[in-house]
Structure 1
């Protein structure tokens, strides 16, 4: 476990806890239990993962003091959270005690929302301790986390600029005769050099591998004239993530038919970005990209959603996909990343992170989207 800069902003923590209570009240739940992960980092600035010992934040909807439960051996390193000054009831426990009963003591448990990625080990023990009617807290927390505040947007701008600097350097490493893994190792190092805490993912997919959207790295040697999809990203120290994809041609421009298909993909990505504005639904953005590819006869090769939300998680709400009638609002951030994947032959993808503004859209990635020969 560790703390992030958000932990020092008491006013921000109070505001987010108040918003959580309001959303929980609207959802008809008595309390929300949040275990370690991005939700807890959002609320308290506490980073880390769940282990076999229970750590959680319990927020009663009725306005009673939130409860933070932690193993005593862990809490010794968390004094920087300043929870007591925020009116949070800190309850520590030692091995041999029942942390689940401790977490729920004095709290209404008739309907409890539990964060989505809570391990079953803890969810079941909470049920045995009295939280018998559990629902997922994701829909409640989504209402808070989807709309980024100005500080969050600035972190995402910084993340976007940092990953743009890496893409600007791809020509240093992406060369025919090198393997995907060799190129990927250089890119991973640059992601950290350019300001990220770590390289969370590095996709270098060449030739037929580019037809697999989630191909990672292999020992395949990149050949002259092949398309290479480079999809990379990671978190800043603040926890906010980058995610950007560009497609490159290795040493030689591709054949005319591939170049024409790529031009259609570029037009599809542009159409989807231009369509972004408040009030437009997520599925309408997906359709804006898909319609352009349909006109070019390429829609059958576009085999995934157009985008995903991004923030403290690389993939979070909202999802830009058919069937989602969620209207966009200012502060919502997500990827726009249509792709064309011809099985066994080649693939291409263009991805930018965008933010919905009061009047339209702001791109958080600004590298050229043309098919670049390196």
Structure 2
């Protein structure tokens, strides 16, 4: 693959922090504490694996301070990140106490909602609970709206995953094991995009009725229904795509359910208008499914889970396409469209493509499949 997009620039990250500071002020928070999460990478560019030791960043109205174990400072100094002071703590010291000292007396701290509970518990011992507030809503509302640079990285990742799916379709023949397919998916992702699979599910036959597959290493037999769900990561941004199909003459029942699934998927797309509530899209899928005598609600045969989830630096993030989510869809939001239909103990059909919201309506990252034996447009 060529024309790989540029990574997110430091100027864009500075703009994100400016928006975060405005959100902090509106929420009445004096600072935000980011942990070793994708939000730390989103705002500062620093990528760090989460452990029991606090590595993060404290953002106030006029400062950015990294908090880290003293023995890791030399490594952090080598990593790509926005400029900022580094406040170090030694192994016998409490990083929560250091955070409280940096925050200052009487000030309110908003917490990254992906921080471990152990860090929250340590902070409660240093700060009155009323001084700790949930920073999740302000963070997710900023992250949910993607910039053109983010969308370009996601499109590149989606293009790689689409090509992987096409090669998997050609690869699968009687006798191949699911583990061989999963290994091939990872190797092909690496060859195409430079990153392996962030996840890969390959299911055959009745196992396709389990949304996240089985742990057993299945073997494909001619005529089996095939479900493949996978994604990769490019520049910190995820892809996600599912195809369900057969490589033989499909049964009348499978063909019927496949076409209902595709109709429900299209109904989600058609309902995705700027300003509408996210739950409206879930409702649209369920109306189609119920009109064909399936469901209703979460009953099986039917749709047992939400119709989609947001996608970005995390494989599941806001906005969630689910009943009860009244948050409006905004230009720049990206989410999956996957109203899976499950026929218990027989098969399941999940067609998953990702949408990004344009100014005038929804746009596919990848074009949906054509039919039960033609998984690609």
Question: How does the TM-score come out when normalised to structure 1?
Answer: 0.91
**What is the alpha-carbon distance in structure 1 between the residues aligned to residue 198 and residue 68 of structure 2?**
28
Q: Which residue of 2 aligns with 1:240?
A: 237
**What is the alpha-carbon distance in structure 1 between the residues aligned to residue 78 and residue 18 of structure 2?**
21
Residues 202-253 of structure 1: CA deviation (Å, up to 9, x unaligned):
11111110000011553222222221111111212x110000001120x312
| Structure 2 residue corresponding to 1:155, chosen from 145, 149, 153 | 153
Residues 28-48 of structure 1: CA deviation (Å, up to 9, x unaligned):
223211101111010111112
Q: Which residue of 1 aligns with 2:185?
A: 187
- Any conservation in 1 of the 2:33–2:112 contact (CA below 8 Å)? yes
Report matched runs for 1:305-344 at 5 Å. Answer: 305-344=306-345
Per the TM alignment, residue 102 of structure 1 is displaced from its structure 2 partner at its CA by 2.1
Per the TM alignment, residue 144 of structure 1 is displaced from its structure 2 partner at its CA by 0.8
Q: Which residue of 2 aligns with 1:280?
A: 276
**What is the alpha-carbon distance in structure 1 between the residues aligned to residue 216 and residue 90 of structure 2?**
46
Question: Is 1:130 matched up with 2:127?
Answer: yes
- Any conservation in 1 of the 2:232–2:238 contact (CA below 8 Å)? yes
Question: Is 1:253 matched up with 2:249?
Answer: yes
In structure 1, runs of 5+ residues without a counterpart are: none
Residues 341-370 of structure 1: CA deviation (Å, up to 9, x unaligned):
111111111000110000011111236342
Question: Is 1:56 matched up with 2:52?
Answer: no
- Any conservation in 1 of the 2:46–2:80 contact (CA below 8 Å)? no
Q: How many residues align?
A: 363
Question: How does the TM-score come out when normalised to structure 2?
Answer: 0.90
Q: Which residue of 2 aligns with 1:139?
A: 137
206-215 vs 130-139, greater mean Cα deviation: 130-139
Question: Is 1:290 matched up with 2:291?
Answer: no
- Any conservation in 1 of the 2:73–2:88 contact (CA below 8 Å)? yes
Question: Is 1:94 matched up with 2:90?
Answer: yes
Structure 2 CA distance for partners of 1:256 and 1:229, relative to 1, 3 Å: same
96-105 vs 291-300, greater mean Cα deviation: 96-105
Q: Which residue of 1 aligns with 2:3?
A: none
**What is the alpha-carbon distance in structure 2 between the residues aligned to residue 187 and residue 68 of structure 1?**
37
| Structure 1 residue corresponding to 2:168, chosen from 147, 170, 177 | 170
Per the TM alignment, residue 65 of structure 1 is displaced from its structure 2 partner at its CA by 1.6
- Any conservation in 2 of the 1:93–1:99 contact (CA below 8 Å)? yes
**What is the alpha-carbon distance in structure 2 between the residues aligned to residue 98 and residue 187 of structure 1?**
43
